[in-house]
Amino acid sequence: MKIFTLSCLMAAASLQAVFAQVLIAPETDMNSTVIPDTNTTTTESTTSDTSYSLADTSATSTPTILNSVQVLVDNNLEVGGANFPFIYLPEQRIALRGAASCSKLGELLYSAQSRSLPSVQKMLTQVAPNVTEFWIDTGASDSLYLTSCDTLVMKDGKATVKTGGSCLRLLPSLCSNVNVSGKVTVQTSLGRVTGARDAMGFRFQGIRYAQAPVGSLRFAAPVPVTTKWSSAVDATTPGNKCPQLGDLPGGKEDCLFLNVFTPILNAEDKNLLPVMFYLHGGSFTTGTGSDPAFNPANMASRGQVVVVTINYRLGLLGFLERVDAGISRSTLPGNQGVRDMLVALKWVQDNIASFGGDKSKVTVFGESAGGHAVRTLLSMPVAAKGLFRAAIAQSDPIDLPFNNVKTASTVVSGGAMTLLNCIDLACMRSKTVDELLAVQNTIVSQSIAHAPEESFLELIKPSVDGILIHNNFDQLIAGKDGGFVKVPMMIGTMKNEADGFLPSLGQSTPMPPTVMGATLATILGYQRAMVTIGYGLYPIDGSNPDGTREAEGLFASDYLWVCPTQFIAKAYAATNTPVYQYQFQRGYNPNRPSGDICATHVCHGDDVALVFASPSLMNNASTYPWTAADAALSRTVMDRWTAFATTGGNPNPAGDSNPAWPQYDGKTQSIYMFDTTNTVSTGGIRPQFCGFMDQAIHYDFQL
C-alpha cells in the first residue's frame, strides 16, 4: 500500500510539473491581453513620432500574456450596488490552468456562493448564453486541481454548483475580482499600452491619438500618430486637457488624448462589444474628455459596451480661419477641433479591437456642444463615412447654426488677430496660449454686439467650410449639398434647458417685467422679438415673484432647444431614417443653491449624471446624495443609451418593464418622457408654441 501511495504521489507530482510547464509557456496570439508579471519589473522608455511621449510616463513592467478577459458585475447603479463582481475567462482550459490564469490576475477561481448565484447567472446569461459549464472553486476542489474539481453549471438560465467532477475537461473559468489595483497591457496597431483595472473593468487614459499641435502644427489639421513604439506606454492617468478659461481654467496645447473604458480585453471577433464615442460639451471653449462627471466606468460595466472619451482643440486654437483675408484653407484649414474628432474616430477604427470594441458598431454621442458636435459629424457624409453607425445628440442647441464665413473668419478670427496686432499665421503662432485665451475671452464677451443672431451661446463653433461641411443641418437633411450621414439618431432635450443660462445675461435673481423685452431682443433681434411679444404666448405671471425669469426660461428653452429639436426630428423622420426623440421631466443636480432657478427646474446638463452614473459622483454621498430613485431613473436612461448602441438604432432593452419607446414619425410624434414614472407622449411637445416658432418667427438656421 505504501509503495502504491508513493507511486501515485510521484505520478501526481510529475503531472503537476507538466501542467506547470504548460502554464508558463507564452501564448503567441498577438491580440492577447497582456498582464504584467508582478514578480519581475523593468523600467522601459517610450518612443514616439517626435521628442514627446505617447503618454505622460512610461510603463514599468515585463508582461505575461493571457487570452480574453471580461469583468462582469451585476451593476444596479446604486451606492454599493456593484454586486458580486467576477471575471470571465472564455478560453477553454483544464482546471489547473484555469486556476493559474486567475492567479496571473492576482485572483482565485470564483467561489460562487449561493447568495451570489442570482447575480452570476444573470451576467452569464447575458454574455455567455450558450456556455453550460465553468470552472469555479467553492472549497471542495482538491488543492492541486487534479482529481476533483468544482464547476458552475448553467441550465435554462439557472446556475447550480457541481462538485467532485473531473479536472481534465476543457472549460472556461470564472475568477474572483477582488485585486482591483493591478495593471493590464494590450497590443495595439502601434505598440503596447498599459492601463489599470478596477471592480468595473479596465481603463486606459491619456492615449495620444495625434501629434502635439504645437509649433508649426498649431492651427494645422491634426497629424495622426503613425510611428510604432517598442516599449509599453503608461495609460493609467489622463492626458492634458486643452487650453481653456471657464470654471476650471488651464490645460496645455499638447492635449490630443483619448480614454478607453472597457469590460473586456482581447475578445474574439464574435465577442467584440459595441463602442460608444463621447464628445464633451462646453460651448467649444471649455471641457475635457477626462471630466469625472462623465466617468463611463458604470456605463461600460452595466451596458457591456466600450466607451471612448476624447479631447479636441477648443476656442481659437480649434476654430481659427481667415479665408476672408486671403489665407487659404490649405494653409489654415479651420474646423481644427472637428478634424480632431475625425482623427480620433479613425483611431477607433484602427485600434479599438485591442480594447474589446467592434469598429463596425460605433455610436457617437455627446451633450450640449457635444450634441452640436454630433450634429456636425452627421453633416459630413464624405469625411465621416463609415466611422459610426448611430448617433445620440443630447441637448444640442439646434437653433444655433454652423458659423458662416462672416462670423468664423471676420468676427472671431479676424477680431482676434486685430487685437493681437497680427496680420499672418506666423504672428499667431508666436503668441502665448495665455494671450490667445485673453483675446478669445474678449471676442466672446463682445459677441452679442457683433453677431447676436448666431452667438447667444456659441460664438466659436464649427463653420460651413465647403470642405467638411457644406451647409446647415436642416438643408443637408433636405437633400442639398451632398446630404447627411443617414444613420439612426436619438435626440432630445431637458424640460427647462435655458433657465441655467439666464445668469449669463445678468439675471441671477428675480427680474422686473421690463427685462423680458430686452431678453427677447438679445436672442431674436428687435423685429422678431416684437412679433413674439405681440402673440402673447409667454405672459409673465404677476403673482410669481420670479415670473419674469420663468417666462424668459420657457421662451428660450422652446426657441433654442425644444422646438428646433422637434423640427429636426420631423425632417429626419421624413427621410425614412430612424429617429427617437425624448425629453427629461426630471434631472439630477443636487448642488443648486436655493436661490438658483435650476434648483426647482430641469436644466441644461441635468441629464449627464443620469446617463453616466459616474463613480466619482456616487462615491461622494455628502456632496452628491444618490438615492434609490436616482439609481432607478439612471438605469432606465443608461439602458436605453446602451441598447441603442448595441442594436445600432433601437433604444428598447430586452426584458424591460418600462413603456416601449416608439420611433418618431411626423404624424404620431411620439416622445419618450424620462421621469419618476416614464411615459410616452404623442402629438409632439408644446405644439402651440412650437407651431408658432416653426411658422411665424422661424429659427436662426433658417435665416
- Catalytic residue set: 368
Class of residue 6 by CB neighbours under 10 A (exposed 0-12, middle 13-18, buried 19+): exposed
Backbone angles phi, psi at 74, to 5 degrees: -80, 85
Question: For the chain, what is the radius of gyration of the CA atoms?
Answer: 28
Please tell me what DSSP assigns to residue 403.
B
182 C-beta neighbours (distance < 10 Å), count? 16
Q: How far apart are CA 277 and CA 492, in angstroms?
A: 18
User: Beta-carbon neighbour count of residue 683 at 10 Å?
Assistant: 10
C-alpha cell at 119: 447575480
What is the CB-side half-sphere exposure of residue 239 using CA atoms within 13 A?
A: 32
Beta strands in 107-218 (DSSP E): 133-136, 149-155, 158-165, 171-176, 183-187, 192-197, 202-208
Residue 602 and residue 587 in contact, taking contact as beta carbons nearer than 8 Å: yes
C-beta of residue 438 within 8 angstroms of C-beta of residue 285 = no
Nearest partner of 609 among 585, 630, 582, 629, judged by Cα:
630
CB within 8 A of 195, min separation 6: which ones? 183, 184, 185, 186, 202, 203, 204, 205, 235, 236, 260
Q: Of 516, 504, 506, which is closest to residue 540 (Cα–Cα)?
A: 516
The terminus-to-terminus CA distance of the chain in angstroms comes to 98
Give the dihedral of Cα atoms 81, 83, 86, 88; nearest 10 deg. -90
Please say whether the dihedral angle defined by the alpha carbons of residues 254, 260, 265 and 266, taken in this order, is positive or negative. negative
Dist. CA 90–CA 66, nearest whole Å: 11
Spell out the long-range contacts of 244-247 with Cβ–Cβ below 8 A and sequence spacing 24 or more.
244/282, 244/285, 244/286, 244/287, 244/314, 244/315, 244/437, 245/285, 245/286, 245/437, 245/440, 245/441, 246/282, 246/285, 246/286, 247/286
Helix/strand/coil for 307: strand
Burial class of residue 16, CB neighbours in 10 A (0-12, 13-18, 19+): middle
Cα angle 229, 234, 235 (rounded to 5 degrees) comes to 110
Give the angle 527-503-673 at the CA atoms, nearest 5°: 85
